[in-house]
């Protein structure tokens, strides 16, 4: 069983681009999202994944992820209500890997960065482009964004 421990931040400027390589296009949808549990289908570049996440406890939650055939993922994405589209960039800052997502489609305008940690107490050195921390704010969960796109927020 895997445990995901992550923190999320809004991105406040474009200075991250100097560190970024080529991004990977990502499409993901949710087959189930209730009670803090999600079942996600993700196509990231030329790979596809089925991911099951449990409810959050602090900044941690159970996570099970399995690579699946691309054809299966494409068929399952058609079963989802709402998709999240984004380009993901991997960046290294202070010897830690950050995932920076530039959202597209109905979530255009949202840029968010996440960092996965080894423990909830692990200290991090924030990059200059990291803005407001949104860890735990359910509006910034991708499952929420699939149903309530950023472009529709008031």
Domain boundaries, the chain: 2-152
| Conformational region of residue 119, where left means phi above 0, alpha means psi within -120 to 50, and beta covers everything else | beta
**One digit per residue, pLDDT tens: the chain, 154 residues?**
699 999 999 999 999 999 999 999 999 999 999 988 999 999 999 999 999 999 999 899 999 999 999 999 999 999 998 899 999 999 999 999 999 999 999 999 999 999 999 999 999 999 999 999 999 999 999 999 999 999 999 8
- For 130, list phi and psi in degrees, rounded to 5: -80, 125
Read off the DSSP letter of residue 56. Answer: -
Q: Half-sphere exposure (CA, 13 Å, Cβ side) for 7?
A: 18
What radius of gyration, in Å, describes the C-alpha atoms of the chain? 15
Q: Is 30 a catalytic residue?
A: yes
The CATH H-level superfamily of 2-152 is Hypothetical Protein Pfu-838710-001 (2.40.320.10)
Catalytic site residue from 30, 140, 141, 144:
30
Confidence (pTM) = 0.95
Both tokens of 35, joined, read 């009670």
């Amino acid at each position: 069983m895997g445990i995901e421990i992550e923190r999320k931040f809004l991105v406040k400027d474009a200075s991250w681009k100097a560190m970024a390589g080529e991004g990977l296009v990502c499409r993901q949808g949710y087959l189930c999202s209730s009670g803090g549990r999600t079942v996600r289908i993700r196509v990231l570049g030329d790979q596809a994944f089925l991911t099951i996440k449990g409810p959050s406890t602090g900044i941690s939650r159970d996570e099970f992820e399995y690579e699946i055939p691309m054809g299966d993922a494409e068929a399952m994405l058609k079963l989802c209500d709402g998709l999240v589209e984004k380009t993901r960039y991997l960046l290294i800052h202070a010897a830690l890997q950050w995932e920076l997502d530039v959202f597209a489609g109905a979530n255009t305008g949202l840029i968010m960065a996440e960092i996965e940690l080894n423990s909830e107490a692990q200290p991090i050195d924030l990059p200059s482009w990291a803005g407001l921390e949104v860890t735990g704010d359910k509006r910034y969960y991708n499952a929420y964004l699939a149903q309530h796109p950023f472009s529709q927020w008031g």
